[in-house]
Amino acid sequence: MKTYLDCIPCFFKQALEAARMAGAGERMQKKILNELAEILPEFPLTSSPPEMGRIIYGLARRVTRRDDPYLKIKEKSNQLALNIYGKLKKKISRSPDKLLMAVKLAIAGNIIDYGVKNSLNVDVELAKILNEENKAINEEKKSIFDYARFKSTLRRAKTILYLADNAGETVFDRILIEEIKRIDGDKRIVYAVKEKPVINDALVEDACVCGIDKLAKVISSGSDAPGTVLSLCSKNFLRIYKKADMVISKGQGNFEALSTTKRQAFFLLMAKCPVIAKDVGCEVGDVILRSLF
Amino acid sequence: MKTYLDCIPCFFKQALEAARMAGAGERMQKKILNELAEILPEFPLTSSPPEMGRIIYGLARRVTRRDDPYLKIKEKSNQLALNIYGKLKKKISRSPDKLLMAVKLAIAGNIIDYGVKNSLNVDVELAKILNEENKAINEEKKSIFDYARFKSTLRRAKTILYLADNAGETVFDRILIEEIKRIDGDKRIVYAVKEKPVINDALVEDACVCGIDKLAKVISSGSDAPGTVLSLCSKNFLRIYKKADMVISKGQGNFEALSTTKRQAFFLLMAKCPVIAKDVGCEVGDVILRSLF
């Protein structure tokens, strides 16, 4: 997805949030906004929003000299999600279509608010999200929720590249991967996280804490952009990306980075902002399982 | 009110809206955002948001070479509000406290969406706002709705300076001014509008179309900032501002520009954004009648 002009106010909002998260005082926050303002005229709109995201969060890291401001949030998110792992597994086992439920949970894991106080709240939050998802799916918006094609592609795929999004969400990814492996234990899955801290995106340690390493090969994309920007990825990652029979991409950042590439991928996300909703052709809040190509 | 860092993303949003309203294509929109980015590092946060507002809308006017992009909206707003003038007067005549109802309507006029299709919709919109206002007032938030002080100050005031906000809203101002004059026909009222077009702010012609000139002396503040920034106002305006027994100030822009000045004023507005709500110490959506001093 290209960067829309409406993304620009949001870049400043994100920079401010990143600065505050990194503990910057008001003066340092302003410095970060000023530096972003200086970069802005040179940033080409043909680039995708995660390319600017990378610049913004790099700026906040550099100015505040804090390498991983979201570390505690990531740890807490992992813990909260791990606490409800048993419940999530029960949900799957009780479902008539276990794979569909696992897909739905994986998307829910993307939008859940891990800022809530305990696992009981996470549970309530989850119930709310799943209801909303059911609504979206019941409305049979097949153009944005193409489960049939996902299922048939998955059946044929021997190698799968799974692009991670946030920490915490990794537990929900684990559950989908477990379901995929339950159906066919021979499938080989590679789980790709970010190379260095950016926002609350999952790193190798998050994948391991959440138990993904026992099911899949965990690698890094080689980049610290908050989305899989191919031009910034490592050769190793690109080799796997090209060869995999199927790509499962989680979250808005990965969609923004990959939606205009020519490789088929299945994007699992919720449309969180009006810009992406317009780009996809759906409403804000819609749950998306979209196959490109 | 000073400019908060949270105002900065909103400045870019406003610039984009202003550019689009002026019919700018995507390239020209980007040019306007780039120019704003260039100005930003030099803009002191001790200035009030309307001072930046003036720069933004001036920028949009200059780049697009359109002097008054909101002209049609202003004309339509005036017309829609004039269409329900009779109904508004009936509402007043049926109220046990006519002045209170007139104050409430004047605030409702500030937040009404004139973008709706006809006067029936305006009516529905108005009913909704008045219900919300009743809620706010019923909760007896006297710190933000000090009607008692407004009433007692008004009783004593012989000269009143009334600071206008938007076109359309001018009809609601007329109704409050009529109520003030009904109580005491000897009060002399000066109604101050903006000098030149900025957003949908009322100009002299809007005040006249809505019939204010038959009740009050209509003047301009001498400035095209979307709020009464004293350093930009004319000498004539400042003389009246200093001498008036009472100042009634409408809308968020005038509040932002005047809230830190030492002159007593009554601010009638709704808190439309989280920044102003935090500054006032209220919630977004709260209806405010606040006296400073």
ipTM value: 0.89
| Whole-number Å distance between alpha carbons of A165 and B188 | 65
> Which residues in chain A are closer than 8 Å to B9, comparing Cβ atoms?
9-10, 12-13, 16
CATH code for the domain defined by B73-292: 3.40.50.10880
B137 and B70 Cβ atoms separated by less than 8 Å? no
Q: For the range B212-217, what are the long-range contacts, defined as Cβ-Cβ under 8 Å and sequence gap of 24 or more?
A: B212/B170, B212/B173, B212/B174, B212/B177, B215/B174, B215/B177, B215/B178, B215/B181, B215/B189, B215/B191, B216/B162, B216/B177, B216/B189, B216/B190, B216/B191, B217/B188, B217/B189, B217/B190, B217/B191
What residue of B is the nearest CA neighbor of A15? B9
Q: Does domain A71-292 have CATH number 3.40.50.10880?
A: yes
How many Cβ pairs closer than 8 A exist between chain A and B? Answer: 45
pLDDT 10s digits, A174-232: 999 999 999 999 999 999 999 999 999 999 999 999 999 999 999 999 999 999 999 99
Distance from CA of B41 to the nearest CA of A (A): 5
What residue of B is the nearest CA neighbor of A29? B5
Nearest CA to B108 out of B175, B162, B20 is that of B175
**Is some CB atom of chain A closer than 8 A to the CB atom of B34?**
yes
pLDDT of res. A70: 93
Average pLDDT over residues A255-283: 92
pLDDT of res. B47: 95
Percent of chain B topping pLDDT 70: 94
Contact B40 A33 (CB under 8 A): yes
> Taking 80 as the threshold, does the pLDDT of residue B267 lie above it?
yes
> Which residues in chain A are closer than 8 Å to B16, comparing Cβ atoms?
5-6, 8-9
Residue A130 banded pLDDT, cuts 50, 70, 90: confident
Mutate to test the interface with B, among A16, A28, A30, A40 (most CBs of B within 10 A): A40
Contact A5 B26 (CB under 8 A): yes
Distance from CA of B10 to the nearest CA of A (A): 7
Contact B12 A9 (CB under 8 A): yes
Mutate to test the interface with B, among A2, A3, A4, A5 (most CBs of B within 10 A): A5
pLDDT of res. A286: 84
pLDDT 10s digits, A98-117: 999 999 999 988 877 666 66
> Which residues in chain B are closer than 8 Å to A13, comparing Cβ atoms?
9
Q: Name the residue ranges covered by the structural domains of chain B.
A: 7-64, 73-292
Do the bridges between strand A217-220 and strand A246-250 make them parallel or antiparallel, or are there none, so unpaired? unpaired
> Which residues in chain B are closer than 8 Å to A45, comparing Cβ atoms?
30
> Taking 90 as the threshold, does the pLDDT of residue B29 lie above it?
yes
pLDDT of res. B172: 96
> Taking 80 as the threshold, does the pLDDT of residue B237 lie above it?
yes
**Is some CB atom of chain A closer than 8 A to the CB atom of B43?**
no
Average pLDDT over residues A3-25: 95
**Is some CB atom of chain A closer than 8 A to the CB atom of B16?**
yes
Going A21 to A22 to A24 to A29, the CA torsion angle's sign is negative
Mutate to test the interface with A, among B2, B7, B8, B20 (most CBs of A within 10 A): B8
For the ranges A76-85, A125-134, B211-220, the one whose mean pLDDT is highest = B211-220
A160 and A187 Cβ atoms separated by less than 8 Å? yes
What residue of A is the nearest CA neighbor of B31? A41
Distance from CA of A38 to the nearest CA of B (A): 7
Residue A138 banded pLDDT, cuts 50, 70, 90: very low
Q: Which two tokens stand for residue A245?
A: 């029979």
Contact A33 B6 (CB under 8 A): no
pLDDT of res. B278: 92
> Which residues in chain B are closer than 8 Å to A9, comparing Cβ atoms?
9-10, 12-13, 16
Contact A26 B5 (CB under 8 A): yes
Residue A136 banded pLDDT, cuts 50, 70, 90: low
Distance from CA of B69 to the nearest CA of A (A): 20
> Taking 70 as the threshold, does the pLDDT of residue B133 lie above it?
no
B81 and B171 Cβ atoms separated by less than 8 Å? yes
pLDDT of res. B86: 94
pLDDT 10s digits, B248-266: 999 999 999 999 998 999 9
pLDDT of res. A122: 75
Residue B197 banded pLDDT, cuts 50, 70, 90: very high
Contact A45 B30 (CB under 8 A): yes
> Taking 50 as the threshold, does the pLDDT of residue B138 lie above it?
no
| Whole-number Å distance between alpha carbons of B274 and B272 | 7
pLDDT of res. B37: 97
| Whole-number Å distance between alpha carbons of B104 and B176 | 9
Q: Which two tokens stand for residue A232?
A: 């910034």
Nearest to A9 among B10, B38, B45 (CB): B10
Average pLDDT over residues B75-92: 93
**Is some CB atom of chain A closer than 8 A to the CB atom of B13?**
yes
Nearest CA to A290 out of A269, A273, A272 is that of A269
| Whole-number Å distance between alpha carbons of A102 and A177 | 9
pLDDT of res. B100: 94
Distance from CA of B4 to the nearest CA of A (A): 10
Contact A9 B26 (CB under 8 A): no
